Amino acid sequence: MAQLAHAEIDHQLPVGEEIFLDHVGHFVPDHEAASRALLRAGFAPTPVSIQVNPDPGRTPTGTGNVCAMLRRGYVEVLFKTAETPLAGELEAAMARYRGVHLAAFAVADAAKAHRRLGRAGFPLRPLVEMQRPVNTATGGTTAAFSVARVERGAMAEGRIQILTHRTEDAVWQKRWLAHPNGSLGLASIVIAVADVDEAAERFARFTDRGAAPTRSGHVVRLDRGRVELVTRQAFEAMLPEVSIAGMPFMGAYGLVVESLGAIEAILRHAGLATRRAGDCIVAPFPDALGQGTWLFAESSQDTLFP
């Protein structure tokens, strides 16, 4: 039976000083193709939502999303909707490779985290309040969240940010949490980096959690979820089916599922490649979601990179 870590079964959002791996984000040029790819892999994607700033004119941020909402965390697909600086960053990232470029960590107080990041030596962007309209079973509402961001380049791996959700019920609607493939929660993000020691020190400062050495590099364990920082050689040895598009590379993330047998059957029926590796199933993304792979497991503690 699938197992979520103890912190995962209690609450969706962090309390106190907890920090969670909240979501990862694919950057794609075609959201319709990406939604079809999620459906093909057995996810139940949400409708399209266009993100806006909470100013009087509700100015578009320049991006929109489709999500696969999980019992713990979620997977986001981001695409361009307007010519804005934020959309420009999305396009610049996709010029490197199409795939996962975002890892977001949830805390109870983004403003407090923003101040801590400054004290930790990170160059900061202003704390931002963002919104996106969402439909519920009873009508429309707004999802709101505060985001602490560092300056571009301060975290070379991608858009690495800390946020606080203000509207849990609007984001995690029960009707979107059940997936035919049995996906339950987000467990990890795997990033291939050139200098694992430097990246581990930086991610430890960013998350305010320690980094522990592994045979593949380092791991930063959070109150829920983890960041696995691995060498190029380790990534290529464990995931030879994934071509590294360039370094650094957010090439994989882990998801907890109800049954490996069930999801393996769904993926194979959809014509998607799968491979058993230890206690995980490796399943490269469909092309519409970019370069990289899912790592499905029945326990949030299972990893290919011990």
- What is the rounded average pLDDT of the residues 108-128? 97
- What is the rounded average pLDDT of the residues 235-262? 96
Q: Please give the structure tokens belonging to residue 103.
A: 């890892």
> What is the spatial distance between Cα 3 and Cα 9, in angstroms, rounded to a whole number?
9
56 pLDDT tier (thresholds 50, 70, 90): low
Coil, helix or strand for 150?
strand
Cβ–Cβ < 8 Å for 296, 280: yes
- What is the rounded average pLDDT of the residues 121-128? 96
Residue 230 pLDDT more than 60? Answer: yes
88 pLDDT tier (thresholds 50, 70, 90): very high
Per-residue confidence (pLDDT) for residue 140, from 0 to 100: 82
- The CATH architecture that domain 6-176 belongs to is Roll (3.10)
Residue 3 pLDDT more than 90? Answer: no
- What is the rounded average pLDDT of the residues 276-301? 96
Coil, helix or strand for 163?
strand
- What is the rounded average pLDDT of the residues 142-171? 94
Residue 59 pLDDT more than 90? Answer: no
Per-residue confidence (pLDDT) for residue 197, from 0 to 100: 98
Q: Please give the structure tokens belonging to residue 117.
A: 């990041």
Per-residue confidence (pLDDT) for residue 54, from 0 to 100: 66
- What is the rounded average pLDDT of the residues 249-275? 97
What is the average pLDDT value for the chain, to the nearest integer? 93
Rg (CA), the chain: 18
Per-residue confidence (pLDDT) for residue 5, from 0 to 100: 47
Give 183-297's CATH code, choosing from 3.10.180.10, 3.60.20.10, 3.40.50.2300, 3.40.630.10.
3.10.180.10
Q: How far is CA 132 from CA 59, 266, 297, in A?
A: 11, 32, 31
Share of the chain above pLDDT 90, in %: 81
Per-residue confidence (pLDDT) for residue 204, from 0 to 100: 98
- What is the rounded average pLDDT of the residues 195-199? 98
Q: Please give the structure tokens belonging to residue 245.
A: 């598009």
Q: What is the DSSP letter of 299?
A: B
Per-residue confidence (pLDDT) for residue 134, from 0 to 100: 80
Token pair 């949400």 is found at 46
- What is the rounded average pLDDT of the residues 229-251? 97
Residue 4 pLDDT more than 60? Answer: no
Higher pLDDT, 190 or 48: 190
Residue 278 pLDDT more than 80? Answer: yes
Amino acid at 223: D
Cβ–Cβ < 8 Å for 283, 276: no
Per-residue confidence (pLDDT) for residue 141, from 0 to 100: 83
Residue 6 pLDDT more than 70? Answer: no
- CATH 3.10.180.10 segments of the chain: 6-176, 183-297
* Chain Cα centroid distance, residue 141: 24
- What is the rounded average pLDDT of the residues 77-103? 95
Higher pLDDT, 39 or 3: 39
Per-residue confidence (pLDDT) for residue 2, from 0 to 100: 52
Three-state SS letters, 46-90:
CCCEEEECCCCCCCEEEEEEEEEECCECEEEEEEECCCCHHHHHH
- What is the rounded average pLDDT of the residues 56-73? 86
Alpha carbons within 13 angstroms on the beta-carbon side of residue 253 total 29
Q: Please give the structure tokens belonging to residue 240.
A: 């030879």
Q: Lowest-pLDDT range, 1-15, 145-159, 172-186, 260-274?
A: 1-15
Q: How far is CA 262 from CA 24, 175, 252, 256, in A?
A: 24, 21, 21, 13
> What is the spatial distance between Cα 94 and Cα 80, in angstroms, rounded to a whole number?
11
131 pLDDT tier (thresholds 50, 70, 90): confident
Cβ–Cβ < 8 Å for 5, 186: no
Three-state SS letters, 84-127:
CHHHHHHHHHHHHCCEEEEEEEECCCHHHHHHHHHHCCCCECCC
